[in-house]
Amino acid sequence: MRLLYSILLAALPLASATAGCTKDSTRAAPTTLFGRLPIAALHLDAAGGSAMIGGESRSIVSSRLAIAFCRWPSYSVAAVGGSHATYPTTDYIASGSQSYHPELYANWSAIELQKRWRDSSIVRPTISVAYGEMSTEYRYSHRLASGTWEDRQEGASSATYLASAVGVEVSLFKYMTSYLLVGARKVGALNTPGVGRGDFDGRYVTFGFGFGKFR
């Protein structure tokens, strides 16, 4: 997630690149630093939805920073990040305890490639594929003998994952779009105790909003 946030922060200045790919010879040349870049679209998205954990559907949140270039305007490349918004417990017992089951946290980051059709229409079908890394760990607070509280993390591990989705985008305003994605993901073996192979595999659904330049 730290890597994803670094990418997002580094790319935010590009948001000023709102000049279209088709140049209008009747207008003055761009006077901004990024106005001359061959960028067809650049937007930041925020979404919520659900995904599977251990056979149960759980709430998730996610964000995307997507960019499309003039040479391939119907294709977007995005930095994607997300996490589960609810935290299940497993049969894992916290270190030093006889009965406490801490909450399991999961987050991910990936690079996504998305293809859109009918790019100039209000409603646009999409298909996407993402490849990245998922991380899991247990987090909890432990009270020490002194009476102070100590934050603990245990069982951290990570694995690569692959996800694909189909969806639809709807233009709401010039710089605002809503979208729905329905897909499936496959996660490699995680070594976090209490997490079985395939616990994070299965369908996911997200609904979100994008803000920025879309065409």
Provide the residue range defining the domain that includes 127.
39-213
- Residue 28 within a domain: no
Q: Domain count for the chain, please give it.
A: 1
d(CA 138, CA 155): 6
The model scores a pTM over 0.95: no
148-192 pLDDT, tens digit each: 998 999 999 999 999 999 999 999 998 999 999 999 999 999 999
12-53 pLDDT, tens digit each: 444 444 444 665 555 555 556 556 778 888 999 999 999 988
d(CA 172, CA 11): 24
Residue 128 structure tokens: 């996407």
Q: What is the CATH number of the domain that holds 64?
A: 2.40.160.20
- Residue 181 within a domain: yes
